[in-house]
Amino acid sequence: MSVLVLIELNNGNISANSRAAVTAALKLSGTVDALVLTDNPNNSNTVAKISGINKVKFVADDSFEHVSSEVASSIIANQMGGYNYLVSGSSTFSKNIVPRVGAILDVQPISDVCEIKSNNTFVRPLYAGNIMATVESLDSVILLTVRSTSFDHAEDGGSASIEEISAEIPQSDSSFISIQESQSERPDLTTAERIISGGRGLGSKENFAIIEQLADKLGAAVGASRAAVDAGFISNDYQVGQTGKVVAPKIYMAVGISGAIQHLAGMKDSQVIVAINNDPDAPMCRMADLVWQGDLFEAVDEMLQS
Ligand code: FAD
């Protein structure tokens, strides 16, 4: 049994979800190789330091700073000979690529895996996390994406061998034009230990600023419900939930968020949940470890003043 882990790099940095993928891969096999598609061969040295990786295979091309999913999936599918599994962290990167690899290999990918029960049995959420399904794969090659919040992030400390692969780079109908990234001094939402999230209860974009002030005071990331995003209080990069980011911080503070199932799907694995809400019957209050029942503006003001 051998595993190939698809590594996601952001400006040369290994994504947290790729480190979770390595940990998940090590539960399947003692032989875990990593595959890196990169514009800079030196990035493979960084990947080789992750503990538990046996060999880093890399394909380098100038165009791979923003490799298209068509090109990536074709190269990855060609590398799967000899591997029983492809494991990748759950992210938009892998959502774009892994299903295409599945189509090329004619196998069914299993996404958002939260637990590995055996070599072919996995636990994954269904219906916005309301059901945890145990699924068994009978495919000869198993493709998995794993939730970063469900597996420890493999640390550095290894010294894997490195091999450059000379892969044929297929023609693609799509090409990279530009990227617009949101810039923030705050912790990254998906890996933050503390998150302050605001909902429709804030009432306006101007009022939402108090969430940002509180986050800055507490060294936290900012999150939001979809209602807050749809109302234009904040951009959708900050949305937590079924159609937003999945997070599991040490503390998740939900301010003026009712706790619809689609929101809970993105944060229910948080270690401590704090609800600030004037409705004690809101689902968020029923799920929370701590509830501040009352007006959110008074509560946030009190915390800002303290
Ligand atoms: P509301 O439900 O309106 O809740 C506002 C809360 O603020 C209430 O509990 C109220 O008591 C409280 N409040 C109001 N004023 C105050 C005050 N002054 N002091 C204290 N408390 C106050 N939602 C997501 O968040 N993420 C998703 O990814 C997502 N995906 C979805 C996907 C689909 C297919 C669908 C159909 C829906 C999705 N939604 C998602 C939307 C979801 O169903 C809810 O509509 C949304 O989460 C509600 O946001 P909210 O809690 O901010 O607003």
Of all protein residues, the one whose alpha carbon is nearest to atom 35 of ligand 1 is 262
Closest residue to atom 4 of ligand 1, CA basis: 258
Averaged over successive runs of 10 residues, the pLDDT of the chain (306 residues) comes to 94 93 97 96 97 97 91 96 96 95 98 97 88 95 95 96 93 86 83 96 98 96 97 96 92 98 94 97 97 98 95
Question: In this predicted structure, what is the pLDDT of residue 96?
Answer: 94
Are 260 and 283 within 8 A, CB to CB? yes
Helices within 241-295 (DSSP H only):
261-267, 283-287
Cβ(290)–Cβ(275) below 8 Å: yes
* pLDDT for the residue numbered 1: 81
Residue located nearest, by CA, to atom 39 of ligand 1: 262
Q: Which atom of ligand 1 is nearest to the CA of 198?
A: 52
Partners of 116 in beta bridges? 122
* Whole-number pLDDT of residue 172: 85
Going from the Cα of 258 to the center of ligand 1, the distance in angstroms, rounded, reads: 5
- Nearest C-alpha to atom 13 of ligand 1 is from which residue? 201
DSSP bridge pairs for 293: 277
Question: What separation in Å is there between the alpha carbon of 226 and the centre of ligand 1?
Answer: 7
Q: Which of 87, 122, 90, 114 is nearest to 268 (CA)?
A: 114
Residue 75 C-alpha to ligand 1 middle, in angstroms?
A: 42
Q: Name 145's bridge partners.
A: 88
The DSSP code for 239 is B
CA distances to 89, 106, 134, 252 from 129, in Å: 18, 27, 13, 17
Return the H-helix or E-strand segment holding 112.
Answer: strand 110-113
Nearest to 215 by CA among 196, 191, 235: 196
Q: State if residue 2 touches ligand 1 by the CB under 6 angstroms criterion.
A: no
Residue 174: its pLDDT value, please?
A: 85
The reported pLDDT for the residue numbered 104 is 97
**Cα distance between residue 177 and residue 169, in whole Å:** 19
Contacts of 16 (CB under 8 A, 6+ apart): 89, 148, 153, 190, 191
* Interval between CA 290 and ligand 1 midpoint (Å): 19
Nearest-CA residue for ligand 1 atom 49 is 227
Residues 115, 150 contacting (CB under 8 angstroms)? yes
Report which secondary-structure segment, H or E, holds 117.
Answer: strand 115-118
Q: Say yes or no: CB of residue 244 within 6 Å of ligand 1.
A: yes
Q: 56 in ligand 1 pocket by Cβ < 6 Å? A: no
Ligand 1 near 45 CB (within 6 A): no
Residue 237 has, within 13 A of its CA and on its CB side, a CA count of: 10
Tally Cβ neighbours within 10 Å of residue 57: 21
186-225: b (≥16 Cβ within 10 Å) or e: ebebbbbebbbbbbbbbbeeebbebbbebbeeeebbbbbb
The answer, yes or no, to whether any atom of ligand 1 lies below 6 A from the CB of 100, is: no
Q: Does the Cβ of 113 fall within 6 Å of ligand 1? A: no
Does ligand 1 come within 6 angstroms of the Cβ of 102?
A: no
- Give distance in angstroms: CA of 9 to centre of ligand 1: 33
**Is the CB of 262 inside a 6 Å radius of any atom of ligand 1?**
yes
Write the residue with the smallest CA distance to atom 15 of ligand 1: 201
